[in-house]
Amino acid sequence: MSRVVSLFLPGWPIDRLRRALGAAAPPADTRLVLVGRDGARRIVTALSRSAEEAGLRAGMPLTKAHALLPDVMAMPADPAADAAALRRLALWALQHYAPIIAPDPPDGLVIDTTGADHLHGGEERMLAGLVNRLAASGISARAAVADTWGAAFAVARFLAGPVHIVPPGAARAAVSPLPLSGLRIPAETVTGLHVLGFATIGDVLAVPRAPLVLRFGPLLGRRLDQLQGTVAEPVDPLRDPELATVRKVFGEPIGAPETIARYTTALVDDLCLMLEKRGLGARRLYLVFHRVDNSLQAIRVGTARAARDGKRLSRLLCDRIETIDPGFGIEIMELTATLAEPLVLQQAASSLIEEEVADLAGLVDVIANRIGARRLYRITPVESDVPERSVRRVAPLAPDDGATWPGRWPRPARLLARPEPIEVMALLPDHPPAFFTWRGVRRRVRRADGPERIFGEWWKRDAELAAVRDYFQVEDEAGERFWLFRSGSEAQAASGAGHWFLHGVFA
C-alpha cells in the first residue's frame, strides 16, 4: 500500500523572505505583511504570526490593515521567488528522503515515501527529522502521512502538530471532522457548501454524490474519490536537468522480475558512463517505475562512498526488485543519481609492493540498504575519562583517526546507555561488593578488582567539580563479569550519594 507525506509550510513566504534577507531581516516579533495585487487593489498575501495575532488576515486590503495596525511593516510579495525557493526545497528533499517528490504550491511539498521510510527509522522518525531540520533552518513546518495525497494534505493543514501519522485504512475517519477547505477545492465551492449547511469533510462524504457534482462540478467528486483512494492520484516527480538521469521507454509493458533486472543493469551501465564523463560517482540512486495504470513505484539505494562500479550498483538495485509490484505492467523505467560526488580513479594496490587492504564498502552498502544507514555504525574512542563520553558513533567507513582507549584498565564489551542502580552489600570504604542485586537477580561476587577512581570533568560542568566514581570489575559464581561503581567518596560528603550502579558487562 502506498504512503504519501504532505509537508505544509504555514509561514512559507515570510520564512523564505527572512532566509533571503539574512542579517538584514526584520526581527522575528515584527508585525510584517507581504503585499500583492488583486486587480487595482493592494491586498495582504501573507503575514507573520505576530501580525495574525493582532487581527490581520490574508486577503485583507492593505488600507484596512494599516487602519487596524498603523505600525505594521509592509513588503512586496514575490510569488516567483517563493515558487523557485519551494522547488529548491523539493530538490533538497529529493536528495535526502524519497525518489518521488513534487512541490505543492503555494506552501507545501508532497512526498511518496512508499518503501523509503525504513531507511530513516520508520515514518515517525522520518517526519520528525524532516520537520526538525527545517525548523533549525528557520522554516516552520507540519507534516502528515496517510494512504492518499488528499488525506495527508488535509491532516497536515488542520490536524498535524507538528507531525501526524494516519494509520493505513483510516484516512476517512481521520479527515471526517476537518474543515471543507482541506478538500483542495476552490474557495467559492467551499462557500457554496457552507451555505447548504455542510461544515466538515465528513458531512460531504455522508450524502449522495450526484446532487453535489451536478451543482458544483466534477472536481468535488474527484477530490472525494482521491481522498478515499478509489481514484488514483499519482505524484508527478520533480525532475532536475542537472541530475544524471537515464530512462527506458518500453513499446510493450514488462513485469517479469528477470526482465526488470536485465533492464536495470542496462540503465546502470548507461548511468555509469554519464557519471564517468562528469567525473562523478553515485552516492544515492533512485529507480522509478511508471506503471500502465499511471501510478509510480520506486527503489532507493545508497552507497557509503561515491561509486561508479556497474556490477555493484546493479546488485544493490536488483536486490530490491522484489519490493516492486508491476501491476498490469511497467512502461517506463527511470534511473537518477540524486546525490553524486567527485570520483577520481585510483591505482589498485599491487601485492608486489604493498599489502592489499580489503574493501568493505560493498558489504556496508548491502547491509545499509537492507536495515537502513542510520542503524549501521561503528564505535570510535573519544578523549574523556567519563566512560559514557569516551565513545561515539561514526559512519562505518569513516577514516581512522588513530585514537585508542587507555590500556591500563580494561573496559566492558557492552556499556549500558545509562548506569542502572543496584542493591549492594560491601565493606566500606574501599572494598568491592560481597554480593549485588541487579534486575531482580541476586549475584554473589567470587572475584573482584578495583577500585579505579574516576573524577568528573569539572571544566565542562560546574556540577562535576566534586563528582567521584569508584569502579570495580567483579565476577559472580556463574563466571559472568560486570562493571560496577560507587558514586561519591565517603571522605567527601559533597562528592556524591554513595549509591551503587552497574554500568557495563564484560564479554
Q: What is the pLDDT of residue 88?
A: 93
Q: What is the pLDDT of residue 350?
A: 57
Whole-angstrom distance, CA of residue 288 vs CA of residue 252: 17
Strand intervals (E) in 156-195: 163-165
Contact 499, 433 (CB under 8 A): no
Q: Looking only at Cα atoms, what is the longest distance across the chain? A: 90
Residue type, 505: V
Contact 365, 313 (CB under 8 A): no
Q: Which run of H or of E encompasses 416?
A: strand 414-421
451 preceded by a cis bond (ω within 30 of 0)? yes
Task: Report residue 484 as a C-alpha cell.
Answer: 560496577
| 3-state helix/strand/coil string of 260-311 | HHHHHHHHHHHHHHHHHHHCEEEEEEEEEEEECCCCEEEEEEEEEEEECCHH
Taking alpha carbons only, the member of 180, 4, 198, 25 closest to residue 109 is 4
Q: What is the pLDDT of residue 495?
A: 44
Torsion, CA 260, CA 264, CA 266, CA 268, rounded to 10: 180
Q: Which run of H or of E encompasses 258?
A: helix 257-278
330-342 vs 32-38, strand pairing mode: unpaired
Number of neighbouring beta carbons within 10 Å of residue 145 = 26
Number of neighbouring beta carbons within 10 Å of residue 455 = 15
Whole-angstrom distance, CA of residue 101 vs CA of residue 338: 12
Whole-angstrom distance, CA of residue 485 vs CA of residue 505: 12
Q: What is the pLDDT of residue 94?
A: 87
Q: What is the pTM of this model?
A: 0.72
Task: Report residue 6 as a C-alpha cell.
Answer: 504532505
Contact 421, 500 (CB under 8 A): yes
Q: What is the pLDDT of residue 356?
A: 62
Taking alpha carbons only, the member of 503, 500, 507 closest to residue 389 is 503
Provide block-wise average pLDDT over 10 residues at a time, the chain (507 residues): 88 89 85 90 91 89 91 91 93 86 92 77 88 92 94 92 91 93 92 94 92 92 92 85 91 93 95 93 92 87 89 92 91 92 71 64 81 77 82 80 72 87 85 91 92 85 82 93 84 60 91
Edge-to-edge strands, sheet with 468-476: 414-421, 500-505, 481-487, 468-476, 441-455, 433-438, 423-426
Taking alpha carbons only, the member of 93, 96, 125, 124 closest to residue 110 is 93
Q: Which run of H or of E encompasses 160?
A: none
Helix (H, G, I), strand (E, B) or coil at 200: strand
Q: How far is CA 56 from CA 10, 24, 27, 74, 170, in A?
A: 15, 24, 18, 12, 36
Edge-to-edge strands, sheet with 163-165: 100-103, 108-112, 4-8, 142-146, 163-165
Residue type, 328: F
What is the DSSP secondary structure assignment for residue 140, as one 8-state letter? -
At 299, phi and psi to the nearest 5? -125, 135
Whole-angstrom distance, CA of residue 77 vs CA of residue 42: 11
Length of the chain: 507
What is the DSSP secondary structure assignment for residue 61, as one 8-state letter? B
With 0-12 / 13-18 / 19 or more C-beta atoms within 10 angstroms meaning exposed / middle / buried, residue 181 is middle
